[in-house]
Chain A
Amino acid sequence: MHKRAIGAAAITGVAALLLGACGSSTTPAAKPTPSATTTTTAAAEPTKPAPPVRDAAADLVIWADADRVPVIQKYADAFGLENNIKVAVQVSTDVRQQFKDATKVDKGPDVIVGAHDWLGELVQNGTVAPVNLSADVAAKFAPQAMAATKFNGQSYGVPYAVENIGLVRNTDLAPTAPATMDALVKAGQALVKSGKATNILIQEVGKTGNAYFTYPYLKAFGGGIFATKANGDYDAAKVIVNSAGSLKGATALQSLGKLKALSTNVDGTNADALFDAGKAPFYITGPWAIDKAKKANIKYAISPLPSLAGGGKMQPFLGVQMFYVSAKAKNAALAEEFVTNYVPREDVQLALFEAGHRPPALTSAYDKVAATDADVKAWFEAGQGGQPMPNIPAMNSVWGPLGQAAADVIAGKTAPKARFDAAQKEIVANIAKG
């Protein structure tokens, strides 16, 4: 299920009205998807503030989340001055859903800033327009980042940051980065035995599981979620959740569950706290967890995910942040100009880096940042070889079943093969529902 489920909940709300419910009927918050952007904002969900109202006086309206608005505002102002126009950059608390809803009634912005995995859904609803970047500008970006902006071969935006998960370790407990999961478990077990640590490894699992964190285990053995087509797109018709490779990954999850390295009692609400207490040597997470660790005075280092015995390196999904142009933009010319000519500029990409501390998508900007910022370099290296998270709508059918399958296997409830076979069956059936 999904972030945009908030809108879906409107129907539930209607149902609640129908039933003449007494008391305050609570509109459900969306279950956070494991997508990189939502992981950080999940806790803020239930409050659901009102969407922004499009600034009618502006010649160009941009919606972004609160963190990025100040930076974008700075460059939007420069752009406005150059073209003698007024640019409004507005805070949207849930860009994906609010953009969709507002565009439907023709009150949407001209440009939005968001994650690449929204793309399939946005195209499906006809809300975003293709962005024709010239080949030489496109070549300045990391190839994986450019690939993430494409859907059915068409490009729909300009990327500015790439994020992925990696292995964060507490250097007080674990001075060296383990190259393999076996080494990680061994080091962790020794620390737990000596009482220095309570957990071998922290990773979000939860009772309903987490497909985003499950994928690297499947990928390490050549498995995954979707097979790819000849043109590199993910193929919704070929689900490989119970392929031989994926099943090996599932078995690895099972044995890590048995060793208590992974546990369904560790979830999004307590993972940070457990690591920040200084009693866990290793934490598989993304850049969003670093701020808290810093505040807790944890000495940390970031390294690529370890490799699994009998397989290869665990490879994470890449999440790409990008600028989209609305298909219903009232100021299409200005919107395109801003996105194609301003966003690819090195100074803009560097400023956006300062706002989010994710590796920039523009190669030259990344090189500059990586020279001085060891964390960014480490995140980038942890993402090497990773594939963009699927942006096809069929991915919506995967989160629930795959996450639950992983949780059940980690909890030791069922055998990996039977459980992942069932998940495969369920995912295929859900996709068939359309």
Chain B
Amino acid sequence: MSPQDIQDTRGPKGPTGVDDSAKVTGLGYGRPSGTSPVWLTITKWVLIALVVGLLAIVAQKTIEQGAWVGVVIAAFVAMCVVVVYGTGRSVPLKYLLPGLVLLVALQIWPIAYTVATSFTNYGDGHTFSKQDSVDSIIANSVREVPNTPRYKLSVAVKEKSDPATAEAFYLLTDPAGTTFVGDLTGLNDLPAADVEKAPNGRITKAAGYQILSAIQVNARKDLNSFAVPTKDGGGIKRVGLSEAFEGKANVSYDKTSDTLTDRATGKKYVPLNARWAPVDGQGDPFPQGWKENVGFKNFQNVLTNDTLRSGFLKIFAWNFVFAVVSVGSTFILGMLLALLLNNAKLRGKGLYRSLMILPYALPGFVTALVWSSMFNQDYGLINKMLHLNVDWLGDPWAAKAAILITNLWLGFPYMFIVCTGALQSIPGDVLEAAKIDGASALRTVRSIVMPLLLVAVGPLLIASFAFNFNNFGLIFLLTGGGPFEASDTSIGSSDLLITYAYRLAFSGVSPNYGLAATVSIFIFAFVALMSYQGFRRTKALEDVN
């Protein structure tokens, strides 16, 4: 869009436009609706109703999940929408509200969540509460008591009672064909004369009982913990719909001493680092741990971690170089191409420009993987075409070069688009003045075009820097952070802080989201500081105008 276009679109508004009528109503006539047409008012309220309705659906969903905070938030947003758009009190908020809501949802909330996570031990094996871990350990410790029979099972209730709620009975047939009836008090004989059995021994009819269908058994959630007590302290439990076994939980929980006891071995387990660990220190803790607050432990961990301290400077330096060179190289190439294709005499500009954008339009995943195979030492296109034998992905320096080359290819179209846009917004009269003054083309670019261009794209360069500083996908797909030189896989020679943090947090036995969140807070601090400096510099650039 040329400057003229912008002026054209602004033209028709003005004295008689909507803006002014709004201004008049805003001056204290009270009801803005008084001057708006009826259809506008109706549209407005329909839209408000739609938004509120949408939020009601969201609230309903969150109620189903039992997330009450979500309900409160949805209700609050709905209220804000009604107050802001339904009344004429706050005109600025009408413009700000959507942005504010999105800001909170997409920026503030993730930050708050990340910070909150960084103070916990949340990760695999630490996903639920302590009580859940006890329940899970005990449930998983149920074993079949040796030398006990497997029963054929039919679940029944007394005749003429409600299948959904009445007391349940297990009608059992042991391998010898003897039939029993079991309830919560114990196992009793069921006379063979009273029952009819299927060929496999399962009871199909019993006098005085009503046998439940599959769907009825499934619907009774109380049966999941139902067990017919046996003499040795175990219980007869069902397996599916048609089988029962005598099982016994090997682990018991004592609430007063807060210990788990393994009956088979007599071993006691006590809480240690959010896990149930053996009290004598011998053997493994139970795998099911729980989530708890760990205070500043993750932060301490990051600051005192040996590998982190030893590798930090190296990684940071490369990370910085990577981001700066990536931005610099893509900007220079993008700008040169933009200058070239901005020539008014050039024909077929549209075609060239479309071609330039192609690498940008392809999914980054695909291109990164394609480049990775092109860099293969023995079978890759690059070595074959150039008759080289560079171990692109196995040599530390070559790997860095490979990454920068790939990122140049991936990134220059973006800079090209941005520069093309900015170039077209440079007023023609300035360039003309330079020409009249007798400035050479090079001189014009250096003294006129560049400063004006940088004002426009400066902030974008900083954003691009922040993005590349954390360009996880590229490194991960191209080199995986490697090659690894120091005989360990914690620090790779092409690692960025973010890929390094990823490995640090997830190379343990199980992913540690708490630690990962902590590291990302540190990285956030770095990028924020550097971007702040960058923005201050671009402010200075603006003085050119």
Could you tell me which A residues sit within 8 Å of B by CB distance? Answer: 1-2, 4-5, 7-9, 11-12, 14-29, 31, 46-47, 59, 83-85, 104-106, 120-121, 123-126, 129-132, 134-135, 152-154, 207-208, 236-237, 263-267, 269-270, 274, 327, 331-341, 393-394, 396-397, 400-401, 404, 408, 411, 414, 418-419, 422-423, 425-426, 430-431, 433-434
Contacts and interface: CB of A to CB of B under 8 A. Distances in A.
A422 B489 CA distance: 10
Interface string B277-289: 0000000100111
B210 interface: no
Interface in B379-406: 379, 393-394
A28 B394 contact: no
B376 interface: yes
B241 A126 contact: no
Nearest to B127: A125
Contacts of B143: 153-154
B127 A16 contact: no
B124 interface: yes
Given A126-B136, A431-B509, A404 B484 contact: yes
B508 A84 contact: no
A21 B327 CA distance: 13
Contacts of B239: 131-132, 134, 336, 340
Given A121-B510, A264-B394, A408-B487, A28 B473 contact: yes
B506 A393 contact: no
Given A31-B480, A129-B139, A237-B284, A18 B111 contact: yes
A125 B124 contact: yes
B213 A120 contact: no
Interface string B82-108: 000000000000000000000000110
Nearest to A48: B365
Contacts of A397: 507-509
A125 B137 CA distance: 11
Given A26-B364, A397-B508, A14 B240 contact: no
B507 A1 contact: yes
Contacts of A18: 107, 110-111, 114, 520, 524
Interface of B: 65, 106-107, 110-111, 113-114, 117, 124-125, 127-128, 132-133, 136, 139-144, 150, 213-215, 217-218, 223-224, 237-243, 245, 247, 273, 284, 287-289, 363-366, 369, 372-373, 376-379, 393-394, 414, 460, 463-464, 466-467, 469-470, 472-474, 476-477, 479-480, 482-484, 487-490, 498, 502-503, 505-513, 516-517, 520, 523-524, 527
A119 to B, nearest CB: 10
Nearest to A402: B489
A69 to B, nearest CB: 22
Nearest to B365: A46
16 contacts: A8-B502, A11-B505, A16-B472, A25-B467, A83-B214, A123-B140, A123-B288, A126-B127, A332-B224, A336-B241, A393-B125, A393-B509, A394-B509, A400-B489, A431-B509, A434-B509
A393 B127 CA distance: 15
A10 B217 CA distance: 40
B232 to A, nearest CB: 17
Contact of A333 (B218, B376, B414): B218
The 3 closest A-B CB pairs, nearest first, are A337-B240, A26-B473, A15-B520
B376 A270 contact: yes
Given A85-B214, A433-B512, 15 more contacts: A11-B117, A11-B513, A12-B516, A14-B520, A17-B107, A22-B464, A130-B139, A207-B483, A269-B372, A334-B214, A334-B218, A336-B241, A340-B243, A393-B510, A404-B489
